[in-house]
Amino acid sequence: MTDKPVKVRIAPSPTGDPHVGTAYIALFNYAFARKMNGKFILRIEDTDQARSTQASEDAIIRSLRWLGLDWDEGPDVGGPSGPYKQSQRKQIYFEYAMKLVESGHAYPCFCTAERLEDLRRKQRLLKQKPMYDGKCRNIPKAEAASRMASGEPYVIRLAVPREGDSVVQDSLRGPVRFNNAEIDDQVLLKSDGFPTYHLANVVDDHLMGVTHVIRAEEWINSLPKHYLLYEAFGWEPPQFIHMPLLRNKDKSKISKRKNPVNIEYYRSIGILPQALLNFLGLMGYSMPDGREVFSLDEFVADFSFDRVSLGGPVFDVDKLMWLNGTYIRTLDDGQLLDLLQSEVFNTKRLAPIVPLLKERMRTLGDFVDGASFYFAHQVELPIAEVMRATKQRDPKETARYLKQFLKSLDNLPEFTNDALEAHMRTFCEESGLKTREFFMVVRLAITGRRASPPLVQSMTILGRAACAQRLRAAVETLNAYRPQ
C-alpha cells in the first residue's frame, strides 16, 4: 500500500467518437480521486498518428465536461506534469527508451518488415504464437550503436526474460501469473521515433506520479509488459485496478455493432448527463443500501472498490431509459423547460432542419410533426410500406441488404451529404438494387415514413450513431416479421 497522495488518470486515445466506456472509466477514476482527496489527470494518448484527430480529442473533452466530470490536470487545464498530450512528449520517450538500451533491458532491432512477415508466416504454419524470435537481441552493443548511428532504421524492443513467471497484482483479482516465455519482446519505440502505447503509458504514469491505474479489463494482458518495464526502470509500479468490461445484452464486449456507444448520441436523444453517470455508476457496482438512483456526490461519498463485482455489467439501454425518465421527473417544470430549450429547441439543432421542412409547411405548427423524427429516440418501421416498396420481397432478404449497408457505413470516412450520397449510390450498384427501392427502404427505416424531407441530409443531421441504431432496429424488425 502506498501512502503517497492518490493520483489517478484516464488516458483515452483520440481515435473516434467519444465512447461510453471512456466515461465509465472516467467516472470510477473521478470518484476514487475525489473520495481520497486526490488528483485526477486527463492524458491524451495520441501516439497512433494515423488514427488520432483533434476533432476526436475535442469531442472527448466536451462529452466528459457535459457529464459533469472535471479533472485537475490535463491538456486543457495544464498542470505540473505536462504536456498532457503524448505527441508533445516524443523526446521524453526516446530518452527513456535509450536508458533501457544502455542498461541492457532493451535492444535495437533492425529486422525488416519482410523478415518479420516471413517469420509470422512460418509461425502461423507451425501453429505457433506469433512472436519475435530475438534475432537482434544478441548483436554486440558496440555494433548495434554504430548501426543506429549510421542511420539504419530500427525499432527498440524490450528484452523480456526468457524463463520464469511474472506475477502481477490486480487489486480486484489478486495475483495473476504469466509465463515469461509467452511474452513477446515488445516494441517500445517505433522506427518513426514514436513510442508504442506500452512505453509511453508506463513512462507517463511514472513521471506524472500516478498511484492507481484504474482502467478497463481489456488492458490486463498488457500488465506483465508494464510490470517488466517498471522493473527495468527500477520504478515502483502503481496499483492496478481493471474494471469489468461493459457488455452488450448478449454478454459480448460492448460494441457499436450492437449498441450505440457514442456519448454524443445519448445526448442527442435527450439523455440527461446525471442519468447517464448514474447508469454508468451501476455498471459492476452497487451502493451499500442497494439503491439504484444516486447523484454523483452520493456516489463519491460512498465509493469503495470493495463494492465492484467482476461479473460483466450489461449496458442495458432500456434501463438507461427508465433511469432517465426518473431524472426527468425530479426536475421542476421550469428546469425542464430550460432543458428543452437548451438541448432540443435550440438554434444549433433547428437551423439545419428549417430549410428542409420549409417546403412542406403550410403553418408553423406543421414543423413539429415534420421534424419529430429528428428528435425521437426511435422510430417505428412501417412494415407494410417496406413490403410495398420491395414488391413483397422476403423481409429477411431486405434485412440482409440493410445489414450490409449498415456495416458498410463504418468504412465511410466522413459522414457528409456528398460522401453519403455517393456511398449509397455505389452500394446500390454493387448490390444490384434499384436506387428507388433502396432509398425508400432506408427512408422508412430512418424516418419511419414514406414522405420525408431529403433523406441524405436528414441522415447527416441525425448523425452516424443514430442512423446505425435505426437501421439496426429495422433489421431486427424485418427479421422478426412473419408475412401472413
CB nearer to ligand GLU: pick between 213 and 468: 213
Residue pair 241/305 in contact (Cβ under 8 Å)? The answer is: yes
Is the CB of 241 or the CB of 442 nearer to ligand GLU? 241
Residues 212, 214: Cα–Cα separation, whole Å: 6
Which of 18/108 has CB closer to ligand GLU?
18
- 139-164 burial code (b ≥16 CB/10 A, e <16): eeeeebeebbeeeeebbbbbbbeeee
Cβ closest to ligand GLU, residue 264 vs residue 316? 264
Shortest distance in whole angstroms from residue 203 CB to ligand GLU: 12
Chain contacts with ligand GLU (rule: CB under 6 A): 11-13, 45, 197, 201, 215, 219
* Residue 26 or 406 with smaller CB distance to ligand GLU: 26
Least distance (Å) from ligand GLU to the CB of residue 7?
14
Bridge partners (DSSP) of residue 213 are 240
Nearer to ligand GLU, 23 or 144 (CB): 23
Name the residue nearer to ligand GLU (CB basis): 42 or 389: 42
46 closest CA partner among 79, 98, 85, 89: 85
Q: How far is the CB of 58 from ligand GLU (least distance, A)?
A: 16
Q: Residue 269 has which C-alpha cell?
A: 436523444
Enumerate the active-site residues.
256
Task: Provide, rounded to whole angstroms, the least separation between the CB of residue 441 and ligand GLU.
Answer: 37
Min dist. Cβ of residue 11 to ligand GLU (A):
4
Three-state secondary structure readout of the chain:
CCCCCCEEEECCCCCCCCEHHHHHHHHHHHHHHHHCCCEEEECECCCCCCCCCHHHHHHHHHHHHHHCCCCCEECCCECCCCCCEHHHCHHHHHHHHHHHHHCCCEEEECCCHHHHHHHHHHHHHCCCCCCCCCHHHHCCHHHHHHHHHCCCCCEEEECCCCCCEEEEEECCCEEEEEEHHHCCCCEEECCCCCECHHHHHHHHHHHCCCCEEEEEHHHHHHHHHHHHHHHHHCCCCCEEEEECCCECCCCCECCCCCCCCEHHHHHHCCCCHHHHHHHHHCCCECCCCCCCCCCHHHHHHCCCHHHECCCCCECCHHHHHHHHHHHHHHCCHHHHHHHHHHHHCCHHHHCCCHHHHHCCCCCCCHHHHHHHHHHCCCCCCCHHHHHHHCCCCCHHHHHHHHHHHHHHHCCCCCCCHHHHHHHHHHHHHHHCCCHHHHHHHHHHHHHCCCCCCCHHHHHHHHCHHHHHHHHHHHHHHHHHCCCC
Instruction: For cell 407494410, name the residue.
Output: 384
Question: Which of 45/217 has CB closer to ligand GLU?
Answer: 45
| Least distance to ligand GLU, CB of residue 226, Å | 8
Least distance to ligand GLU from the beta carbon of 217, Å?
Answer: 11
Q: What is the nearest approach in angstroms of ligand GLU to the Cβ of residue 381?
A: 36
Of the two residues 13 and 63, which places its CB atom closer to ligand GLU in the complex? 13
